[in-house]
Amino acid sequence: MSSHPALGDAGTEVGRSARGAEIRLASRTLGQDLHRIELSVPGVHCAGCIRTVETGLARIAGVEHVRVNLSTRRASVTWRGAEPPDLLAALQALGFPGHATEPDSDRKDPELSRLVRALAVAGFSAMNIMLLSVSVWSGADAATRIAFHWISAALALPCLIYSGRIFFVSAWAALRRGRTNMDVPISVGVCLAFGFSLYDTIHNGPHAYFDAATSLIFFLLIGRTLDHLMRERARSAVRGLARLAPRAVTVLRADGSREFLPVEHIEPGMRLALAAGERIPVDGVVREGLSDLDCAIATGESAPRRVEPGSPVQAGTLNLSGPLTVVASARADDSFLAEMVRLMEAAEGGRARYRRLADRAAALYSPVVHATALLTFLGWMWASGDWHRAITVAIAVLIITCPCALGLAVPIVQVVAARRLFERGIMVKDGSAIERIAEINAVAFDKTGTLTLGRPRVVAADGASPRDFAIAARIAALSNHPFARAIAARHAAADVALSDVKEHPGLGIEAGIDGAIYRLGRAEWALAGGAGDPEGGAVLGRDGVLAASFAFEDELRPQAHQAIDALRQVGLRLAMLSGDAAGPVAVVARDLGIDDFSAGLLPAEKVVRLQSMAAADCKVLMVGDGINDAPALAAAHVSMAPASAADIGRNAADFVFLHESLDAVPAAFSISRRAGRLVRQNFALAVAYNAIALPIAIAGYVTPLIAALAMSLSSVLVVVNALRLKADRPQPRSLRPVPLAASGAMPEPAE
């Protein structure tokens, strides 16, 4: 190879060219010679990693901006020029190998599987070594003690090699590049405890501390595994939103031919043919056809929106009832749906700023502990000259200050709090959300499906005789329109024969009864002259003459008034952010006493409102249910959704409540606030324990055996304190969750 350097140079040039082509194909053009690419960087797992990647990539010529998203382990790089910079080689040189991401990939992060296996091995080793240590501590004879030490060594070795490699590999990658990270002191401490224990075991020493090494690995892996699970949930929300766009669509060519093209090949100006039941692939304008669209993704409104030639349509909305010809006005990458995906990813990147208190403390705690142990060793070597005594005292310092209690301070409270929340019908999807919801000072609600149930009901039936009502119910039973379902649920259907039944998309249903033509739907279609249509309602026309008119309203969630009052009483600011029309929003806001409300908001506008509230020092809990609420749920300080929410909304939310009652919101806030107090108490216990134990250990008055007992006692104290978190006192009968069957019942019409 050395005799043919040109071959090596050519190979390097070919590799650089291939990487450049990969980056160019995966990049998105922003205009003005700017491009953006999303790179997957699996090795990022802490604030130090983020700083290294962002600083290293920002130095490359042509790179304008770099932002690393810890939640999804992606680096968003904006670059300028005709030729892309060699970003992949730069990441490799930084010690963080990366590759171009696949936005719609369903493959899970393989490191999560490795973490779970490593956690299982560490847990098995740590628990069994602890059991053996109890026998040794209780006064086993020398032969038994040595046998147990060798068994402990055999159990600790696979934990060290298999589970500990997650920390060792990261630490070595940092050290070989002249850097350090949190895994360096962890690795040094684990190896020191294991090495000295193995030395004493070989030389028939009285003590060994394999339990300290394996327990430290076990507790640290618990935290890392929970972080990975949270990131998988975040990615599943974005993937689910991206899947709302169809993979391909039928394109109508100028010569009348049809071609089935992938969505990424659609360009503005192309004519697209959409059948009923298909989703709109890109933003566009209706050229031909009438239909109803399910626009919940954009507005959250449960009622379908009628579209006709000239009406704008947005990507992701569902065509319900009729064929449409749509002229594309944007590419897939620039569509409304793609914008929502980018909003969610940007919000998740911002959410990475919220570090668990335990993580922040551990980042400082571990280096201090190991530095203290090293100084203790050096001090005793200088004072006594006995290296065995010096290292024994250093190990005692290392064990007695082992951050087991610190590592348990947050997770154990989160486990107990999650159990208490579950008892109230509330599922917590992200442990750090329990900390964040306790910090809120404002709550923002969506309207449809959140403050209300998203089920319209008939509140007035003007001019309807019992027979007309029964006929309307009979006709309505043939449609899936929300208003039709409400009419059908309101009254028993008439036992009449229908003929020539036709559903007219966006207008209503027509049927013949006893020679008369009945139309149920919009007044301008059902009646001659179109008079008598109540706002937001429907009419029944007989041969063009008004037979009955129906008005609807959305039903409030059970306990909505009590929940709003409870939040107001604890001093929280209340707001309503809705995509619905101004009239219905104002009615609900007035009924609940919410003065700060906004109507007609698009998803991006909801995010802007939340950002403005955050700028005014508001930490906002967003409560929403629709697909259109997903970016706002991701952007808020913390979020909650009902179980009836769309899949995307549930995936994006931190909490999901399983019953219809809205009192889940104040209950989650109350329990989480008490959990926050217990977390602070646990940290106080851990700090007080170390403040007392550390000086005694440094002075040499604590053997490693006593240090191990004290370490275990501190962990027990933290667990017992966490168990003090009580469930709420039993609710009055009027505040209990309303059963689904009961809440869905419709009152009978007045005679």
- Residue in 446, 533, 580, 654 annotated catalytic: 446
Q: How far apart are CA 288 and CA 280, in angstroms?
A: 14
Count of C-beta atoms within a 10 Å radius of residue 92: 13
Q: Which residues are 639's β-sheet partners?
A: 622
Which backbone phi and psi does 33 adopt, to 5 degrees? Answer: 65, 20
Query: What pairing do the DSSP bridges indicate for beta strands 63-69 and 74-80?
Result: antiparallel
Residue 289, amino acid: G
Q: How far apart are CA 632 and CA 629, in angstroms?
A: 5
Q: Please report the beta strands in 230-354, taking only residues with DSSP state E, as ranges in sequence order.
A: 248-252, 258-262, 271-274, 284-288, 291-294, 305-307, 312-313, 318-319, 324-328
Known active-site residue 446? yes
Which backbone phi and psi does 444 adopt, to 5 degrees? Answer: -115, 130
Q: Which residues are 467's β-sheet partners?
A: none
Strand 305-307's sheet: what is its strand order?
Answer: 305-307, 291-294, 318-319
Answer whether 252's CB lies under 8 Å from 325's CB.
Answer: yes
State the alpha helices, DSSP H only, in 445-581: 466-476, 482-490, 523-526, 560-569
Answer whether 721's CB lies under 8 Å from 682's CB.
Answer: yes
Q: Which residues are 251's β-sheet partners?
A: 259, 272
Residues in the chain: 751
Q: How far apart are CA 568 and CA 593, in angstroms?
A: 10
Q: Which residues contact 664 (CB under 8 A, 6 or more apart)?
A: 424, 425, 426, 563, 640, 655, 657
Of 49, 95, 94, the C-alpha closest to 74 is 49
Q: Which residues contact 6 (CB under 8 A, 6 or more apart)?
A: none
Per the rule left: phi > 0, alpha: psi between -120 and 50, beta: everything else, 721 is: alpha
Count of C-beta atoms within a 10 Å radius of residue 426: 21
- Give the sign of the dihedral formed by CA 524, CA 579, CA 458, CA 474: positive
Count of C-beta atoms within a 10 Å radius of residue 131: 12
DSSP 3-state of 530: coil
Q: Which residues contact 7 (CB under 8 A, 6 or more apart)?
A: 1
Catalytic residue numbers read 446
